[in-house]
Amino acid sequence: MTAAVDVGLTVMAVMFWILNIYYAVLNVSGLVFRSRRTTPRPLASYPSVSVLIPAHNEEKVLAATLAAMVKLTYPGKLEILVLNDASNDLTGTIAEAFREAYRHVRHVSVPPRSPKGKASALNYGLTQTRGEWIAVYDADNQPEPGALQMLVEAAVGTPGAVGAVGYVKTLNAYTNVLTRMIAIEFSVFQLLMQAGRWAGMDLGSLPGTNMVVSKDALEAVGAWDPYALAEDAALTVALAVRGGKLPVVPEARTWEQEPQTLRVWWRQRTRWMQGNIYLLVKLVREPSWRRPSVLLHTIHILSVYVIFVAFLIVSDIWFFGGELVHVHATMTMPLTLLWFESFVFYVIQLLSAQMMDGLLGIGNAIIAAVMYFTYAQLWVALLLKAAYLEIRRMSTRAVPVWDKTVRF
């Protein structure tokens, strides 16, 4: 029994350090990439672009979003499509007002279909587009004027690229402690880790907003998976199967409203987690996706949504039960020290992202120190809840239900 405990502790310690090293490498690569601050080169000519904005009951945020959209300084032909998905508030009225005021804004009514949700709305919108490239922005986004131009320049100017991804910043970051934590999370996972993967592995992941993809590439992979609750991750993998690159452009920024209450955050992140579990299952079941080009994407999804949570669980066990484990092991395994080192790495990563993103201050530094014990621990419950929901859905063969994020 003691020998088995020793082996188990050794395996866990090795896996513990592999994950820490993986995150550390991405962190350093991302910091180096960000420090260069290079912008894409201008193009001799710019392709036509269609911007898709899926909108279901978005009266609280749509006017500000469209006000930002019409300020985009894109040199080529541009059209903006508001995909009104069965809204029963003033979404349609707002869309019509902008359509009448701006010739390149279109108000498109999305017909009833099954399954419902963002992916199927985007698929219908794709059939209505005239552009060579497709950009997607959520209905609560306010892109900076030059964001779209930089994304297209990177996509067209990068050999082998089928699209490009920008950076999503938190519009309401200082509303409360929760929104501060979300802003810090986005700085790490959507900026440093995205930039690190692109710098070190030529890999980028579509964030679902502030992104462009070639219309030809979209049609070649069958567009968005209407059954995927994490439609951005599913499309990323589908494009990777065909060898398409997605360069990361941190300077192409959009500002997005994030959940301001724990209840809204919980429902949003449960959908994200369930969507990624669906994708992992599909990766196992889909023969055409079992290719080396998809392996790194699969590892990343696992590392963020599954392995990271498992890492937290083991870390908690080590923190609370490390001394008890020592009693039954002949090896001297400094579990408490390993836990402390992982905590330090986690905080350093958060502080590094804040520093590069201009968020570092006394308040945010304190929040970063407590996030490991609070915000990060919530992902354990999220994984369990999402796994239960997806297992139940698969067993009943139910159509996935898109849970719209509440706006404030």
Percent of the chain topping pLDDT 90: 46
173-182 mean pLDDT:
92
Helix axis angle, 231-241 to 262-285, nearest 10°: 30
278-298 mean pLDDT:
76
pLDDT at 162 over 80: yes
Instruction: Identify which of 98-112, 305-319, 352-366 has the greatest average pLDDT.
Output: 98-112
Among 72-81, 163-172, 207-216, 366-375, name the one with the lowest average pLDDT: 366-375
Three-class DSSP category at 393: helix
pTM equals: 0.88
CB atoms within 10 A of CB 31: 18
For residue 125, the model assigns a pLDDT of: 96
- Mean pLDDT of the residues in the chain: 85
For residue 327, the model assigns a pLDDT of: 44
For residue 324, the model assigns a pLDDT of: 47
Query: 251 Cβ partners below 8 Å, 6+ apart?
Result: 37, 39, 150, 167
For residue 201, the model assigns a pLDDT of: 82
Count CA within 13 A, CB hemisphere, residue 383: 18
d(CA 159, CA 247): 10
- Is the pLDDT higher at 38 or at 88? 88
User: Domains along the chain?
Assistant: 40-189+204-258 (3.90.550.10)
Question: What stretches of 155-269 adopt beta strand conformation (E)?
Answer: 163-170, 211-214, 248-256
Question: Which tens digits make up the pLDDT trace of 235-279?
Answer: 998 998 888 899 999 899 999 999 999 999 999 999 998 988 888
pLDDT at 150 over 80: yes
Element (H, E) at 55: strand 49-55
Question: Which tens digits make up the pLDDT trace of 201-228?
Answer: 888 889 889 999 999 999 999 999 999 8
pLDDT at 321 over 60: no
Side chain identity at residue 385, one-letter code? K
- Cβ–Cβ < 8 Å for 98, 68: no
Query: 2 Cβ partners below 8 Å, 6+ apart?
Result: 328, 329, 330
- What confidence tier does 26 reach under pLDDT thresholds 50, 70, 90? confident
CB atoms within 10 A of CB 398: 11
Among 97-106, 124-133, 343-352, name the one with the lowest average pLDDT: 343-352
Residue 243 structure tokens: 């060898």
For residue 5, the model assigns a pLDDT of: 56
